[in-house]
Structure 1
Amino acid sequence: MSTSLSVEAYIVSCKRNTNHTVISGTAGYRKSQTECVIFSYKYFPQTSMKHIDNFFERDIVNITGKFTYVQNDQFLPDGIFVVIHQATLQRKASSINDLRCSIPFITFSCQLSLNTKNQPIMYNQNETSFINTYSSIYCHSSSSFRDHYFTLSYKSSNPYFRTIWWNKATLYSINGFLNDIFLEDEKIIFLIEICAVDHVSLNSLKRSPIISQVKEKEEKKEKEEDNKDDIDEYLETKKTAKKRKNMDSAEMLPYATTTFPITTPYVNMTINIPCFSHYPHNTHNTHNTHNSHNSRN
C-alpha cells in the first residue's frame, strides 16, 4: 500500500555514487527542543530532476516521499527510510538545532487490527480514543512487503470522528502527524494523531449509515417507479385482451339479426329475418309483401 511523509529536515550526510544516479544519506527533524529523530533517505536524480532541488550536507530541506521502517538491514540503520519524490531547498544551517520544532505529516492506507475474538482493538484513555491498525507496505530496501503497525489517536469529543464508521472489513486512508515510534510486543508501532479519514473500499460505503440512508431512499424510489410501470403494463394488457376478445366475437358471428315489423288487419306480429351485416337491409321486399297481403283482402 502507498505511504507518504512530509517534513522539514536537516541534511546530516549526503553521498553520491560514481555516476550520480543514486543519492543517499541521513537527515533529521527536530521533534522537540531536546529530541531529534534521524532517518535514512534515497532518491534518483534522473527520475525526479524537476521536483528535487540539489542539496548537500547542512542544508535545511522540505522533504516529501514514500516512507517505510527498516529493521536489521545490511546497509541501513534501523529507523524510518524515505524514498524522496520532492525536495525544496530552504537555507543553510550550522546544526540540526537550527531547525524549527516539527513532526512529519504522513498519509497511508490501513485496516483495523483484530483481537483473538476477531474484533477491532479500540480503547479510550484520558478522553483520547485509540485504534490499532496495520498495513502491508512494499519496502524498497528489501524489495519485499512488510507489515507496519499504526496506532491511531484522536480526541473522543471531536465531532468529526463521530461520523467515521469503523469496520474490520474496510480499508481506510489516513492523514495525520507522526507523534512517536515505539516498540511493543516485538512490533514497531507508529503513534499517529489523525487529522482526516477516508473510506477506500466499497464495503465501507455500503455499511456507512449516511450512505445507507441515501441508498435506501433511492431504492424506495426505484421500487415505486417499478410498481407504477407494472400497474400501467397490467392495465394495458387488460385493455388489449378485452379488445381482442371483442374482435374474436365479431369473427364468430358473420351475420346479424335484423327485426322488421309486419302489420295485418287482425294481428300485429314481428318476425326475425336474418341478413348479412355486410349488406344494407332490403326494405323493398317487405313493402311488396305487405301490399300483396292487402290486395288479397
Structure 2
Amino acid sequence: MNTTTSLQVETPGDVADIAEIAVTAPPHGLKEFWGYFSQNRGAVMGLIIVFIIVLAALFADVIAPHSPIEQFREATLVPPVWQTGGSARFLLGTDPVGRDMLSRLIHGARLSLIIGLVSVSLSLILGIVLGLMAGYFRGLIEVAIMRLMDIMLALPSLLLAVAVVAILGPGLINAMYAIAIVMLPHYARQTRAAVIGELAKDYVSASRIAGAGTTRIMFNCVLPNCAAPLIVQATLGFSTAILDAAALGFLGLGAQPPTPEWGSMLASALEFIQSAWWVVTFPGLAILVSVLAFNLMGDGLRDALDPKLKR
C-alpha cells in the first residue's frame, strides 16, 4: 500500500503574511492602557501634578524648610520673597503667628492625601459590599440598601458631613469617617449597576453550571469585571475627599489647629484677606491644583479603561 505524504512549502508571500500578523499582535495590557491614557494631555498633566504632590507628601520632613508648627514671633505676616519686605528665609511668607507658609503647605499635602486615601478606602470597601449584595440578591435586600442610599443622596453632601461630625465630634479622624459616609452611596450604586450588567453575561451562567458558589461568583467572577468604573470613581473620589476635608476644616469641624490642613489654614487667615493676601491665596491654590489634577487624571482613566470611549 502506497502512502503519499504532502509537503506544504511556504512561499515568501506566506512568510510575509505571518510576519505581518506577528507585528500586529495585540500589545501588552499595560502598554495598551498607557497608549490610550497618554492621548489625553490633560490626564498626563494631572498625573504629573499628582506625582509631585505624592513626592512632596512622602518627603515633607526633608523638603520643608521649617517645622509646620514652629512659630517665629519676630516674623509674623512676612510677605513672599519676591514682594517688598519678603525674606529668603520664608519663600512664601508667614502666617499671622509666624509659621512658614511653604512648610505648612507641604505638610498639608501629606494630610490631604491621607484623608483622601482613608476616606476613599472606607467608602469603597463598604460600597462594594453593599452594591454586590444589592445587585446579586435583588428583592428586599436591594430595595432596603438602595432606598437607604437614595436617602443619603437626597441630603447635600456637606450638610450630611457636618451632621455626622456634629454627632461624632470635631476632629480629623471623625472628619474622615464623615467623608467616607458621604461618598458611600456613589460606590454602592456604581457597583450595583455594574453587577447587574455582568450577571446577564454568559460566563456567569457557565460558572453556575460548573458548580461555583455564591461567594466565588460574586468576588472571583463578577467583581473583577466591575473594577474599571470603580477605579475611576475612586480616583475622582480623592478630589471630593480633599474638598470636603477643606470645607470641614474651614468650618472648624475637621483638623484642629495647629495641624497644617489647607481648609483650617484658610479659616485662620480669613480676617487677613486684604492685608496679607498670601495667607489665603496659597492654601486656596493648593486645594484648586490638587483637585483639578485628580479630576483630570480620573477623566483620563475613564477614557482608557472604558472600551466604548477608546478610539
- The TM tier, using the shorter chain, reads under 0.3
More strand by share: 1
TM-score, normalisation: structure 1:
0.19
TM-score, normalisation: structure 2:
0.19
User: Comparing both chains, which one has the higher relative contact order based on Cα–Cα distances under 8 Å and sequence gaps of 6 or more?
Assistant: 2
